[in-house]
Amino acid sequence: MAVEQRPGAGTAVEVREVPSLMTEEEQTLHKNVFLTTIDAVTGWGRAHSIWPLTFGLACCAIEMMAVGGAHHDFDRFGVIFRPSPRQADLMIVSGTVTKKMAPLLRRLYDQMPAPKWVISMGSCSTCGGPYYEAYSVLKGVDQIVPVDIYVPGCPPRPEALMYGVMKLQEKIMDESMPDWLRKRVKR
Amino acid sequence: MFRWAKGYAYTGKRLFEKTVTIQYPQQKPKIPEGWRGRHYFYPDRCTACDACARVCPTEVITVVSHRDPETKKKILDDYTIEFERCILCGYCEEACPVDAIKMGDVYELASYAREQEFMTQEKMLPPGYSTDVVVHGQGEAYRGGDYRTKPEKKVNH
């Protein structure tokens, strides 16, 4: 709070709010220490127990399987592949998404429970890849589902996918209360 | 009768072997020679011959150049790769007569947005190069059209 006297205003004193040097997030943090701690804990828990739905459609799926194997070992990140969308919270779209497959991909995404993320693995699922002029291939899964991480490559190395998952973990840790929970709190 | 013992012996032998897992974030894998990762581009070597852009199967490379009116030589204005569509086939490296484009060993390329995968000259600079060699276009082609957004091709959807 600062007190400032205007010239010509006589004895009248105007009180103005000084803009804080803190960012908006830091201000929120000061007000809600308890809730932000809960956010950090839930973020930590979510980031280190990602259960992906295997959505192998083409050769990228082979690299995805290699990541699950002993040599690269995805379990170190807490990533355990699930065959059912009901048990998954991450969808790794690996491979060429044809227009015939697209509605099924969207249906499986809708069947996943609420905090859910999508990784687009390989250039095919990112933008069509070598089939970018084909009549039957979807030019990017971001046309039908919201994608969080894009992993380029044709196919990407297993380490590239692991790097993508690590970037996703960073993103999940930074996320605060999810939208579906926020709506419930407002009610 | 003792087949189970054979199996257990094999398992026991493997139990004390060294683990095969590469502890990835701490321990990087050994990249074999000739493996193709993201490109390195040498702007000082490029003669803007357009061979890489013509040979590229997914048409991701854009070479912008103009001709010097006095020496009649091509001068490079800009060089970009739409990396999201690149399939890392290495044809551009083979086609280049002056080794201006090389396939590197970078594989940690995941990003949060498709726009971040648009490779400019700054992103493709080889190690040890400063940004001074990056060509900022002076030609008519560079200043003229918006070459970064190619016109949509007619595709029968």
Task: Round to whole Å and give the CA distance between B18 and A136.
Answer: 47
Q: Which residues of B touch A157 (CB under 8 A)?
A: 29, 107
pLDDT at A65 over 50: yes
Which of the two residues, B36 and A16, has the higher pLDDT score?
A: B36
- What residues of chain B lie within 8 A of the CB of A140, using their CB? 114
- Distance from C-alpha of A92 to C-alpha of A70, rounded to nearest angstrom: 19
Closest CA to A151 of B116, B32, B68: B116
CA distance A82 to A64: 13
Distance to chain A for B5, nearest Cα, Å: 25
Q: Give yes or no for B58 touching A (CB within 8 A).
A: yes
- Spell out which residues of chain A touch residue B28, defining contact as CB-CB under 8 Å: 159
> Residue B20: its chain A contacts at CB < 8 A?
70-71
* Range among A1-15, A98-112, B15-29 rated most confident: A98-112
Do A100 and A112 form a contact (C-beta atoms < 8 A)?
Answer: no
pLDDT at position A181, please?
Answer: 58
Confidence (pLDDT) at A2:
55
* pLDDT number for residue B5: 93
Reported confidence tier of residue A32, pLDDT bands at 50, 70, 90: low
Averaged pLDDT of chain B: 83
Domain count across chain B: 1
Per residue, what are the HEC states of B41-77? Answer: ECCCCCCCCCHHHHHCCCCCEEEEEEECCCCCCEEEE
Gap from B112 CA to chain A (nearest CA, Å)? 5
**CB-CB under 8 Å, A149 with B24:** no
* % of chain A at pLDDT higher than 90: 43
Whether B48 maps to a domain, the answer reads yes
Instruction: Determine, for residues B21 and A70 on separate chains, whether the beta-carbon distance falls below 8 Å.
Output: yes
Query: Does B75 map to a domain?
Result: yes
pLDDT at A148 > cutoff 60: yes
Long-range Cβ contacts of B145-150 (<8 Å, 24+ apart): B147/B62, B147/B64, B147/B78, B148/B62, B148/B80, B148/B118, B150/B62
- Kindly state whether residue B147 falls inside one of the protein's structural domains: no
Domain range spanning residue B49?
A: 34-142
pLDDT at A90: 93
Which of B15, B24, B38, B123 would you mutate first to test chain A, the one with the most A CBs within 10 A?
B24
Q: Give the helix/strand (H/E) hosting A67.
A: helix A60-68
Give the pLDDT score at A53: 92
Q: Which residue has the tokens 């000739």?
A: B34
B20 in any annotated domain: no
Is residue B23 in a domain?
A: no
Residue that wins the pLDDT comparison between B133 and A38 = B133
Can you list the residues of chain B whose pLDDT is less than 70?
137-157
How confident is the model over A119-147, as a mean pLDDT? 90
pLDDT tens digits for range B19-61: 888 888 888 888 888 899 999 999 889 998 889 988 999 888 8
Of B57, B83, B109, the CB nearest to A130: B57
Q: What pLDDT shows up at residue B151? A: 47
Alpha carbon distance A58, A121 (integer Å):
11
Q: Who has greater pLDDT, A30 or A162?
A: A162
Q: Among A62, A157, A150, A78, which Cα is nearest to B28's?
A: A157
Q: Is residue B25 part of a domain?
A: no
CATH number of the domain to which B86 belongs: 3.30.70.3270
